[in-house]
Amino acid sequence: MTPEEFRRYGRQVVDWIADYQEKIESYPVLSRARPGEVLASLPAHPPERGEGFEAVLADLDRVVMPGITHWQHPGFFAYFPANASGPAILGDLLSAGLGVQGMLWATSPACTELETRTIDWLAELLDLPARFRGDGAGGGVIQDSASGAALVAILAALHRADGGTAGREGITRRHTLYISSQTHSSLEKAAKVAGIGSANVRVVDSGPGTLAMAPAHLDALLAEDAAAGAVPVLVCATVGTTSTTAVDPVPEIGEVCARHGVWLHVDAAYAGVAAVCPELRWVNDGLDGHVDSYSTNPHKWLLTNFDCNALWVADRAPLVGALSILPEYLRNQATSSGEVIDYRDWQISLGRRFRALKLWSVIRWYGAEGLREHVRTGVRLARDLASWVAADPGFELLEHPPFGLVCFRPRWDGLPDGEADAATMRLMERLNASGDLYLTHTKAGGRVLLRMAIGAPATGDAHVAAAWRRIREEAAEQAAERADPGR
Ligand SMILES: *Cc1c(COP(=O)(O)O)cnc(C)c1O
């Protein structure tokens, strides 16, 4: 493709994306494709001769779009948001356009140094403690995902726990990891990948009547395991759990970890970015104590297209110790001088994309002010919804921290628990089939709840109000059908 052809098709692609943004509400939020449908519309064999790009664009509309679930639709309330934004899309396009691979400082100094500056900017925007900034012993790095960040943190913690023995000789002793029942599944997966094994993942109780990790039980488990000869490696505390945005008591957990000399990783994948707002900075409570690593996802609620996770460590030495390897073909003067960062030593893979460009674009376009406004809108819309749910005697609301997620369900008066859960699931399916909105569910306190996560940039007051109207109507309709099956 010549630059001239690129210019022509590039304009078409950008127009296509802008058109998509304008008409996104005309699509059903949740794709209606059946399993295998997209696959069946695609040729089984690749073309022998190149085709024009028009053919690709035509298939985008014909084949791809019916199989798309519209994450940027204002009625998308499932999982957590995965915000996209104009500046992030353009930043990503520029990254693709430059086509650099930033494994070493020397392979594109700007790729490394722009990342260092941008991640420090983000630390400042979130008001993270100074020790996570790159000018001290710590530092930040962009990872692909919170899952990847957790794995990297575990490998650094393993390195610190046994002075690099595991990296050299393999894991020879029993190592243990501590989570709660609400911790994201990526921690158990990372324990499997790191060779710790899921059998050595200990589940700490939640405090009575809460979904938050109980520090006293953590203390007891750590003591018990150490007495039995195990090496406790890492504790993961969560700020804003995936299920209900519950918050673990990080300050107390930090004290326990300090006493036992165990690494504390704080997973704030969704909620951490809320700290752009001073009134939500309490999400950082405890980070100035004994926290070794902290991770949050600008790719969820902070307007930066997937993938973009930010991981900070208080001390980069065990991280680099765990992950650096220097084969002859990567030797270079800049690396030997010790004056530069090679981010390949901060992640699993060697190669890395220029992800900082999109985060940098986002921060520059919105400014601290714009980022705060976006988070505040989500918080306000969720608060409105929660107040409507609480005021409706037909619904029950789960108490929740003031982020963008609201968990609730109809009371289904008179139905035993199991049937009420089935009715809630049925309601969710009906709502999702409507095409107007998309919700997911969770289980908390022994019952199934609908999860409505607000925070897509396109979602406004009218969308949340319409979704709530729809939920009430559909629940009433379902209750009426149950009362009179012949309807
Ligand atoms: C979403 C989420 C994750 C996983 O995020 P990825 O970036 O997709 O790996 C991990 N932890 C929590 C608390 C989350 O909400």
Rounded Cα distance between 487 and 59, Å, is: 43
Rounded Cα distance between 153 and 157, Å, is: 6
What are the start and end residues of each CATH 3.40.640.10 domain in the chain? 100-354
Rounded Cα distance between 442 and 447, Å, is: 8
Distance from residue 295's CA to the centre of ligand 1 (Å): 10
242 lines ligand 1 (CB under 6 A): yes
pTM: 0.96
| Whole-number pLDDT of residue 487 | 66
CA angle at 225 for the pair 223 and 231, rounded to the nearest 5°? 105
φ, ψ for residue 77 (rounded to 5)?
A: -125, 15
Identify which of 346, 295, 286, 297 has the alpha carbon closest to the alpha carbon of residue 318.
Answer: 346
| Whole-number pLDDT of residue 154 | 98
* pLDDT, tens digit only, all 487 positions of the chain: 999 999 999 999 999 999 999 999 999 999 999 999 999 999 999 999 999 999 999 999 999 999 999 999 999 999 999 999 999 999 999 999 999 999 999 999 999 999 999 999 999 999 999 999 988 899 999 999 999 999 999 999 999 999 888 888 888 899 999 999 999 999 999 999 999 999 999 999 998 889 999 999 999 999 999 999 999 999 999 999 999 999 999 999 999 999 999 999 999 999 999 999 999 999 999 999 999 999 999 999 999 999 999 999 999 999 999 999 888 888 889 888 889 999 999 999 999 999 999 999 999 999 999 999 999 999 999 999 999 999 999 999 999 889 999 999 999 987 988 899 999 999 999 999 999 999 999 999 889 999 999 999 999 999 999 999 999 999 999 999 988 877 6
Q: Please, what CATH class does the domain formed by 100-354 belong to?
A: alpha beta
146 lines ligand 1 (CB under 6 A): yes
269 lines ligand 1 (CB under 6 A): yes
Rounded Cα distance between 118 and 142, Å, is: 10
Q: Please, what CATH class does the domain formed by 1-30+69-85+367-487 belong to?
A: alpha beta
What are the start and end residues of each CATH 3.90.1150.170 domain in the chain? 1-30+69-85+367-487
Residue to mutate, 71, 142, 186, 403, ligand 1, most ligand atoms under 8 Å from C-beta: 186
